[in-house]
Amino acid sequence: MVGAGAVEPDDGRSRLPTGIEFARDLLRREVHEPAPPARQLADALHRTCDSVFTNVRATMGDDGCRALFGRAFSAARDQHPAIDALRVASDCEIPREQLLAAIETHGPAATTSAVEALLAALVDILARLIGTDMTLRILDPDTPPSEPLDGVSP
């Protein structure tokens, strides 16, 4: 069962991930070790976030990026106290130094979970507005189009 407000695959026939699955997949692409040193983890988290922020900004503009991430930060704050350590005034970036400070203050697992929650919240918000498939294509242009399980296009 998926938590309230979480994105589920559109109709049960597609292979679209939930928001948290997508966020974890993005992070797994950059975090290659189970327990990397703090600076390596901060770099990996920064690369992931920077890529997503860049894609959102390119599609939605600066104002859209700030609005969407402002909502995502607010949505994730209840689940992860480390979120406040990551947030900066622009809401459309997380500087590497902020990530490193959060890792040193809250620990690697809490900081990684906070980034996952932030990205998952973004997916959930955007998916409610424009659909999951389009959201995943914006956030990660390398994501292949969804494939229906029965071979019939939706």
In percent, the amount of the chain with pLDDT more than 90 equals 50
Residue with tokens 């902020």: 98
Assessment of whether the complete model's pTM goes beyond 0.85: no
Cα→Cα distances 26→6, 50, 148, Å: 17, 12, 22
For 40, counting Cβ atoms within 10 Å of its Cβ (0-12 exposed, 13-18 middle, 19+ buried), the class is middle
User: Where are the domains positioned within the chain?
Assistant: 19-139
Looking at per-residue pLDDT, the higher value among 154 and 47 belongs to 47
pLDDT digits (tens, 9 = 90+) for 3-58: 444 444 444 545 667 888 888 988 888 888 778 899 999 999 999 999 999 999 99
Looking at per-residue pLDDT, the higher value among 152 and 133 belongs to 133
Per-residue model confidence (pLDDT) at position 136: 83
pLDDT digits (tens, 9 = 90+) for 44-79: 999 999 999 999 999 999 999 999 999 999 999 888
H-helix or E-strand containing 55?
helix 38-77
If one counts every other C-beta atom within 10 angstroms of the C-beta of residue 61, the result is 12
pLDDT digits (tens, 9 = 90+) for 108-126: 999 999 999 999 999 999 9
Task: Tell me the two tokens of residue 58.
Answer: 């390119």
Cα→Cα distances 152→39, 147, 148, Å: 46, 8, 6
Per-residue model confidence (pLDDT) at position 145: 57
